[in-house]
Each structure stands twice: as C-alpha cells, then as structure tokens.
Amino acid sequence: MTNTYITNATWALTGEKIDLRMGHGDEPVSVFLNDIPLDGVNGVAPAGEMLIPEGARVIDADGKLVMPALFDLHTTINLEGHSKRESIYRAGQAANQGGVWGMLVMPSRGFIFDNAATLDSFDEAVSQRSFATMVPAGCISEGMAGEQQAPYNTLAARGVTILSDGGRMPTSLLMLHRAMKYAAAMDLTFAIRGDVPCLSEKTYMHPGTTSYNLGLHGTPACAEEIGIETLIRLAEDAGARLHIQTVSTAEGVNIIRRAKAKGMTSLTAEVALHHLLYTHENVGDYDTTFKTLPPLREQSDCEALLEGVKDGTIDCIVTDHTPCMPFAKKQDFVSAPQGMVALDTFLPAIYTHLILPGKLSWADVVRACSTAPAAIVNPYDQEEDVPVVAPLLLFDPAAEREVTPDSLYCGTLNSPLLGTVLRGSVTLPISR
Amino acid sequence: MNPRKDLITIGALSDEDIRTILESTSAMKDIFTKSVKKVPALKGKSVLTLFYEPSTRTRSSFEVAAHRLSADVTTFTVSTSSVVKGESVHDTIDTLMSMKMDYIIVRHKNSGIPAVIARHCKAAVINAGDGSHAHPSQAFLDAFTIKEKYGEVAGKRVVIIGDILHSRVARSTSTILRRLGAEVAYMGPGPLVPPQQHTGIARFTNWDQIFEWKPDVIYLLRVQNERIDTPFFPAADYHQAFGVTEERLKRIDDLNMSIMHPGPVNRGVEICDAAMEYRNCLINNQVENGIAARMSILYHLTPQTQCHD
C-alpha cells in the first residue's frame, strides 16, 4: 500500500507552503508542527522538497489551507422529533461540514448521562452512526435535577472527564461544593455556566433599549458575573478543575482574567461563537433565532470577549450548538426555546466573520477551536489505549457557499446564517 | 395610503395612520349623542375577541365599539389554565383561520403573541395588550383624551407614574404622545423604572421633581400586583411615596394639572378618593373615548379576508 501525498498546501498557522506524506493507519504519529501532533502524517517538508515516488497518490492542495480539525466543547444533541441514532448521525454530518472532528456532548433531556447504561448505549450509537468523535459530558447531578450527585466514579470509569448539567447552574451550592470536593480526586472537570438562577428566572434577553421596546424582561449581566465568581471560589476551595461555559459579558472575562492572573491553573473558559458575532439588537422585532442562553449582549461585550480569546483568558470558542424544531422557534419570543445551530457552519462562519475581517488570526482559531478544547477533554481511545488527536483538515478559502435549509445537515433550521453566503469550505477528514 | 391590516404597536404606524385614526375618533364619538348609536360600517363582518388574560374594560370597550359599527362579535374565552401549557400559538392560529374571522382582537400575557398571530392570519389583528410590550388602542384613547382637553397634544408635558417596567400602557402611550409632539417623563419606584438610556425618556424619582417640571397631565398607572411575584418595593410605602395624596392633590389643583389613569384604579394606593372627584380628573372621559377610539381603529384596518373567501 503506497502513501498518499498532499502537495503545495498552506499550513494555516504560519502561512508556510508544505508537502505532507500521509501514513497508513497503523503507523504511529510521528510529526509535530508548531507543537501540534499531526494525526496520520509521517513526513513534512517545505513545498517541492519532498520526494514523491512514481505512481503515488497525490492531492494537489495549492491554494488550500491545512490545519488540525476543530474540537467543539459544547454541543447539545436535541432529539427534536428524530430518534437518538438519527440525531447522532445528523450531528456527526453537521460537524464534518463545519470542520469539527470531535465534540463534547452536553447531557440533555434525550441524553441524561448520569449512569453507565446511557453512556454505553450512546457510545455504541456513536461508533455505529457518527462520522465524528463524540465524548459525552457526565451529569453533575442525577437527572440534572441539581439535588444529588451523579455517580462520578462510574462515569469516570466509562471515560467521562467533564461533568456538566447542560447550561444549568446547580441551585444548591452546598451540593456543588461537596460534588467538587469529591470529584477533585478523580481529576474531573466541572463545566458550568455562571448564573444566579433567582436573578435570571423569567428573563428573556439582555436588558437594554430592545428589551424595553419589546416589553421583555432583561437578564442582568451581574447574574452571570456573580455566578462565575461563585464558581471560581467554590472550585478553588474544593481544589476542583473548573471550565466556565459560554461567558457572555465583559466583566465575566475580567473575573476570569483576574483568577488566572492569581495563578489558578485549573480554570478554563469558553465563549460561544454567537456571542462574538451578534448583539441583543439582532433580536429586532422578536426574532427567536437570536434567543440564546445566556442572551446576546452589547457590542462592547463582543469586543471584550474577542480580546479575551486573543489574550488566552477565554481558552475556547464553542458552537453551543442547540437544535430547536422550526415549530418551537416560530412561537412567540417568551415561549420559544433558547439556542442556535452552529456545527454545520462553524469553520466557514469563523473564517468569514472573524478571520477575514482581521479580528482573529488562524493561530488564534487553531488554539481556541482545536488544541485547547481537545486538551481540556483529553479524548482517549479506551480500546486502543491511546489518546485521540485531531485529524488534518483541508480548507478551501476561495470557495463560497450560501447557507440554505438543504445545506444544514443537523436537522433543524435555527441558524442565524441561513440565507447568507459564507466564504470557505471544509474537506474532512483527510487523514482517515 | 396602503391599507393597514393590523394594529400591533404604535411604532409600526405611519404619521398618517395616527392622524387619521385620531380624526375619525372624533367623528365616531359624535355617533354616541345620536338616538341610534350605531352605523353600518362593518355590517356583515365578524369580530373575535380572544383574551388570554382577564379583562373587563378593554374587552367590553372593543365589543361595544364593534357592535356600534354593526359587526358580529364572538367572544372566545380562554381559561388561563387550559391554554398556557397545552395549545401552542400555532394551533390556536390554525383554529382561528378556520373560523374565517375578519378581525381578531387579542390580549395575551406574553409580549409578541399578537405579532405572531398577525403574521400568520389574513384577519386584521388588533393588539389589545401583550405582556409588557404594547397596548396601542389605549394609546389612541389617551392621545385623543389629551387632544380633546387641550386642543392639541404637541407641546404638552405628561408624566407617567408607577410600574413602567411591566407597563404596556406606558410604552404605547409614551410613544404616541411623543410622536404627536408631547414631552413625556417617567416616575416610579427605582426597580420599576428602566434607565433613561434604555427608554430615551426622562426619569424622575420623586414628586418634587414632577412639580418642578410642571406637567400638564399626571398619568397614573395601576400597581400591577398580579405580575409581580417577588416584591419590587415595600407595598406599604407606595401611596406616600408615589401616589396622589390629598396633599399633592391640592398642588395639582393649584397648578391646574389633569389626572389620567388607564384603570382599574386602586384607591388608596396610586390615587386618593378625593382625586377621583377632582375637576380635572379625566378617567371617565378616557373610558368613553376608548369606545370611540376602538371604533376608529376597527374602521381604519383592512382585513385580507375578503378576496380569499
């Protein structure tokens, strides 16, 4: 069996032109570029300098970028009328299109990861139906009810490294504090969104002119910020790893920056792509597509979050992919569910709206969307007993594609990008 | 002018819509003094009142208005318990469309519901109050009442006092008054008055500031206990801090200010008994004008049902 060669590709992080030799499946990873392991690659050389045997399979990647594929730390697979297996299949297809090779799947009503049986059946469905690696996040509390701790030891034995109640902050800080103390010994990470539920209940969007005009109650930024501060103090005291989910406010970024500056190495944080791209004004005249949890905030928050990504305060950009049935999103704003879908369009949207306008570099994106999130989850192949690393991704920056209902594989249409044209398209995976 | 199908917010109306509706309100009111208080303007048309929230005044005002225009009125009573959890807005809309109604007058506790119904319905949809969002027919009757009292709205000063945060009346009435050239200010308990940078409306915190500003109209809002689960302010304070007390009524009288209120009134909370008998209390005028304004609104809207039947 001959090797496959990729020639004239541009390494996204540095812009260098390179040739790559792809290894066979049983050859170990042998090559690192910018400290990133290149899965399936066993040779790299400057473009034109690699010896290519006659008859070898060659992919000319002139004009295309190569980079490690993305890992999404925040995906929810809502069933929305489909079976579990079908939903898993669709999410995997969507991820492939968006440049995502693997994802952390949040527990949700359809997938309550608080017991071994659910995890086993999920893993089985993923191995049979999914194009993408899917790592389940175990529940913090049984049934995500916030009352009793889930059996962390059992979950950890099934490969769980992250615990989350899916966007909900447990109301009982005592339960959470004890959970953190217990789980710290197993090196589990708590992924929680900062919130004070009693301050944010019955609120529907960011407080401002739009919320006033629409007569919708505003979610105060301080609810999230107090929540973040509280989580940090609890995790510090308990000695647990903490990952703050979907930070949406400028002060939230500051709180995390201060904690990291103090030397809290077990703290990481994420921002959802939509919090970098949209503000509360996008809600316009009750556009439920822009109803998210936490809500879209001010332009100054978007800028502070972007700054946080650039200086590493915010470790990851995530999709916070949340499929919602068209029917549900067509309800009035108060009744409609929160969330957007973003897996299908993830990398093209980042390229079009963050890289092309010069807001982020490819190096920022590779760190925030590939290496950092994968390092937080540490996906591990239990059968092969090896860590799983990102496959290479080939990205064509010259391609253009309109986002249409047919082009969204995830199964629902709650994407703010529907009807818009995105630059760039993804070929994935090229190393498998 | 393009025929307008729905009335959801004041903001969506053109200046011409506002002017026309106010002008014909006056003509409608003339009908009340005739021996036959009915005109055939909407004869053969069907009007549905769909109230998901309890209401006596607004619903009966719309029903009287529709009757005086000779329309057939159907009252769809929705018990709050059965509907909120079960039937989605979409299913309700489908039901309504099958009924082939020409006008649907809707009130709902959620902001934005009438707009959802209007988008999916050929009938003319009139928002009779949605959550904290809008109450445009109240805005018309308020503007008309001020115009009737003072000759015009432009240049008048109106302070709206009370729970601004939850009030659709404050939003709609302030919008129409400002469109017509009046100055509006808000006053009320701190947590219930949104900051000026969100509303674009001056925010007072006490009566001294109001008397200094010298408004023409004191517009009181009802303290809406049914919308509030965790108290926004100590209830026992309200009358002394924000209500029209007998003492304040004397100054209001001295300064010849008018008092308005969308009703129903909480005596002894936002207003003292004596103020109800005050010579410039326009509350009953508002009720009477409400019927005329709603007749004018019904008359002004054009359902798209005719051509499709």
Location of structure tokens 């928002």: B127
Buried-state track A102-122, b at ≥16 Cβ within 10 A, e below 16: bbbbbbbebbbbbbeebbeeb
What's the Cα-to-Cα distance from A64 to each of A6, A347, A368, A389, B98, rounded to whole Å? 10, 14, 21, 22, 56
Whether residue A422 is predicted with pLDDT greater than 50 in this model: the reply is: yes
Other CB atoms within 10 Å distance of the CB of residue B55: 15
Residue A318: the pLDDT is 98
**What is the dihedral sign for C-alpha A232, A238, A242, A244?**
negative
For residues A188 and A204, is the Cβ–Cβ distance under 8 A?
no
Q: Report ipTM for this prediction.
A: 0.90
Is B198 in the A-facing interface, judged by CB distances under 8 Å? yes
**pLDDT tens-digit readout, B129-158:** 999 999 999 999 999 999 999 999 999 999
State the CATH number of the domain containing residue A77.
3.20.20.140
Residue B309: the pLDDT is 41
Distance from C-alpha of A428 to C-alpha of B9, rounded to nearest angstrom: 49
Give residue A32's pLDDT band: very low, low, confident or very high (50, 70, 90).
Answer: confident
Is B279 in the A-facing interface, judged by CB distances under 8 Å? no
Residue A326: the pLDDT is 87
Distance from C-alpha of A1 to C-alpha of A56, rounded to nearest angstrom: 10
Other CB atoms within 10 Å distance of the CB of residue A69: 32
Higher pLDDT, residue B119 or A384: B119
| Residues of B with Cβ-Cβ distance to A212 under 8 angstroms | 171, 194, 198-199
Is B135 in the A-facing interface, judged by CB distances under 8 Å? no
Kindly report the average pLDDT of chain A as a whole number.
93
Distance from C-alpha of A35 to C-alpha of A30, rounded to nearest angstrom: 12
- Residue A104: inside a domain, yes or no? yes
Whether residue A25 is predicted with pLDDT greater than 60 in this model: the reply is: no
Strand ranges (E), B162-216: 183-187, 202-204
- Residue A39: inside a domain, yes or no? no
Determine the residue of chain B that is closest to A327 in CA distance. B90
Is B112 in the A-facing interface, judged by CB distances under 8 Å? yes
Pick the range with the lowest mean pLDDT from A194-208, A321-335, B163-177, B208-222.
Answer: A321-335
Distance from C-alpha of A61 to C-alpha of A7, rounded to nearest angstrom: 6
**pLDDT tens-digit readout, A84-122:** 999 999 999 999 999 999 999 999 999 999 999 999 999
Whether residue B231 is predicted with pLDDT greater than 80 in this model: the reply is: yes
Calculate how close chain B gets to A199, using CA atoms only, in Å. Answer: 11
SS3 state of residue B246: helix
- Residue A59: inside a domain, yes or no? no
What's the Cα-to-Cα distance from A390 to each of A10, A38, A372, B164, rounded to whole Å? 18, 7, 12, 54
Residue A117: the pLDDT is 96
Strands A380-381 vs A386-387: parallel, antiparallel or unpaired: antiparallel
For residues A297 and A249, is the Cβ–Cβ distance under 8 A?
yes
Distance from C-alpha of B55 to C-alpha of A212, rounded to nearest angstrom: 24
- Residue A366: inside a domain, yes or no? yes
What's the Cα-to-Cα distance from A112 to each of A105, A144, A171, A359, B224, rounded to whole Å? 11, 7, 18, 37, 40
Give residue B2's pLDDT band: very low, low, confident or very high (50, 70, 90).
Answer: low
Is A298 in the B-facing interface, judged by CB distances under 8 Å? no
Determine the residue of chain B that is closest to A206 in CA distance. B198
Q: Which of B33, B105, B31 is nearest to B69 (CA)?
A: B31
**pLDDT tens-digit readout, A364-412:** 999 999 999 999 998 887 777 888 888 899 999 999 999 999 999 988 9
Higher pLDDT, residue A356 or A389: A356
Partner-chain contact A215 B171, CB within 8 Å: yes
Reduced DSSP (H G I as helix, E B as strand, rest coil) percent helix, strand, coil of chain B, to 5: 45, 15, 40
- Residue A87: inside a domain, yes or no? yes
**pLDDT tens-digit readout, A207-246:** 999 999 999 999 999 999 999 999 999 999 999 999 999 9
Partner-chain contact A334 B131, CB within 8 Å: yes
Q: Number of residue pairs across A and B with CB atoms under 8 Å? A: 63
The set of residues, in sequence order, having a beta carbon less than 8 Å from that of A368 and lying 6+ positions away, is A309, A314, A315, A316, A317, A360
- pLDDT > 70 in chain B, percent: 93
For residues B46 and B20, is the Cβ–Cβ distance under 8 A?
no
- Residue A21: inside a domain, yes or no? no
Q: Which of A69, A83, A67, A73 is nearest to A342 (CA)?
A: A73
Q: What is the DSSP-derived secondary structure letter of residue A250?
A: H
Location of structure tokens 């004009």: A63
| Residues of B with Cβ-Cβ distance to A334 under 8 angstroms | 110-112, 131
Is A215 in the B-facing interface, judged by CB distances under 8 Å? yes
Location of structure tokens 């192949």: A381
Q: Which domain holds residue A170?
A: 68-387
Mean pLDDT of B49-77: 92
Residue B307: the pLDDT is 53
Determine the residue of chain B that is closest to A213 in CA distance. B133
**pLDDT tens-digit readout, A315-337:** 999 999 999 988 889 889 999 99
Residue A397: the pLDDT is 96
Whether residue B119 is predicted with pLDDT greater than 80 in this model: the reply is: yes
Reduced DSSP (H G I as helix, E B as strand, rest coil) percent helix, strand, coil of chain A, to 5: 35, 25, 45
Residue A327: the pLDDT is 85
Please, what is the angle between helix B57-68 and helix B283-300, to 10°?
A: 50
Rounded to the nearest 5°, which phi and psi values hold at A59?
-105, 115
Is A32 in the B-facing interface, judged by CB distances under 8 Å? no
Give residue B308's pLDDT band: very low, low, confident or very high (50, 70, 90).
Answer: very low
Whether residue B81 is predicted with pLDDT greater than 50 in this model: the reply is: no
SS3 sequence of B263-274: CCCCECCCECHH
Kindly report the average pLDDT of chain B as a whole number.
92
Of A207, A214, A217, the CB nearest to B112: A214
Element of type H or E holding B147: helix B136-150
**Domain count along chain A:** 1
Mean pLDDT of A329-346: 94
- Residue A161: inside a domain, yes or no? yes
Distance from C-alpha of A142 to C-alpha of A148, rounded to nearest angstrom: 6
- Which residues of A belong to the active site? 320
- Residue A43: inside a domain, yes or no? no
Q: For residue B306, what are its two tokens?
A: 């005719």
- pLDDT > 70 in chain A, percent: 97
**pLDDT tens-digit readout, B253-270:** 999 999 999 999 999 999
| Residues of B with Cβ-Cβ distance to A335 under 8 angstroms | 88-89, 110
Residue B79: the pLDDT is 63
Of A213, A214, A331, the CB nearest to B89: A331
**pLDDT tens-digit readout, A241-269:** 999 999 999 999 999 999 999 999 999 99
**Single-letter amino acid, residue A193:** R
pTM: 0.92
For residues B48 and B40, is the Cβ–Cβ distance under 8 A?
no
- pLDDT > 90 in chain A, percent: 82
Residue B226: the pLDDT is 55
The set of residues, in sequence order, having a beta carbon less than 8 Å from that of A327 and lying 6+ positions away, is B88, B90
Whether residue B306 is predicted with pLDDT greater than 80 in this model: the reply is: no
